[in-house]
Amino acid sequence: MTAPIPGALAGITVVDLSRVLGGPYCTQILGDHGADVLKVEPPQGDETRVWGPPVRGGASAYFLGVNRNKRGLVLDLKTDAGRAALLGLLAGADVLVENFKPGTLEGWGLGDLVERFPRLVHCRISGFGADGPLGGLPGYDAAVQAMTGLMSINGDAAGAPTRLGVPAVDMVSGLNAAVGVLLALHERGVSGRGQFVDITLFDCALSILHPHSANWLSGGAVPGRSGNAHPNIAPYDSLQCADAPIFLAVGNDGQFAKLCAMLDLPGVAADPRFADNRTRVAHREVLKATLEAALSAHDAAPLAARLIAGGVPCAPVLDVAQALDHPHTAHRKMIVDGSIASPVKLSRTPATYRLPPPEFAAKETL
């Protein structure tokens, strides 16, 4: 029997004190790529264990989706015994990931962990950081979406600000946390020293406001909602075909010329109102109406297949079930054991799926 290939992070030990989403997503990334992750839960458990239905095997799908490749442990860090046990774990660890409210570890006498363990990479994911006008306050994905402008640019132009349909702030915070940990581990290989990695939901939310943030910083106009349309590009929008919508993502003049040729619209291609992206953006409504008139003769799925094969970026608008059942999803092996696989494909040291999400032990365990 061939031995499994060690992951890229084999030999790295991670103590995971985090709960809910950002931290667990970070540590699942590390675990998928070979790190030994010990998920330490409080006596009441990670609250997402009961965020169902749906529930599978006694735990919610929400919990199962971001907690594979981890071993489980219960510690009550409010007790001396629990804190002593944690310090024992950290003595042999490379990374600590936690998302306690700033000041919590300090209140338990655990605020100097990088000083106690000089090689430790300590990553904290918090709402707003420890200081500043919002320092120390709790942060939650939807609330941070609201206060960082994400909701203000999401939704129909005539509608109300709308929460993104996925917890994008938590997810990108977890992703940035994983990047930060890897950067710190790489630097440790040079200096021999660990460091503190400070990740906040607030910062991460602002980081994904592009291009709206860049537009405001450069032009001064406050961005608004534009539905599915792109603020800087046209046609870059959802357009109605005979049976369903199609999303056109035409990013340059060459792609626009191909679109017009494939839809047999030579007059549109030659129209000075649509000569380049600047003029197409200025006349986006008439352009959309003109294209939808032509698209009304076509069904979305076959047209999308023909257009993308011809060099026009587009796609049918699928629901979640259709996306997860897509043949390319299977080809890319993006579903494993009832959850989404790692999107990071390394040629020599691929992700592996060694452990299911840990079951919960109600009593403190070592």
Residues annotated as part of the active site: 230
**Ramachandran region, residue 300 (left: φ > 0; alpha: ψ -120 to 50; beta: rest):** alpha
Strand extents, DSSP E, the chain: 13-16, 36-41, 55-56, 59-60, 70-74, 95-98, 121-126, 196-200, 236-240, 245-249, 314-316, 335-336, 339-340
| CA distance to 82, 93, 149, 365, per residue, from 88 (Å) | 10, 9, 43, 13
Q: How far apart are CA 96 and CA 15, in angstroms?
A: 5
Per DSSP, helices labelled H in 192-271 are 201-207, 212-219, 253-262, 266-270
Q: Would you say the C-alpha torsion 166, 169, 175, 178 has a positive or negative sign?
A: negative
- Cα angle: 135, vertex 169, 25; to 5 degrees: 105
What is the rounded end-to-end Cα distance, in angstroms, of the chain? 33
Classify strands 36-41 and 70-74 as parallel, antiparallel or unpaired: parallel
Q: In the structure, how many helices (H) and strands (E) does the chain have?
A: 16, 13
* Rg of the chain taking only CA atoms, in angstroms: 24
Looking at residue 73, what DSSP letter applies?
A: E
Classify strands 245-249 and 236-240 as parallel, antiparallel or unpaired: antiparallel
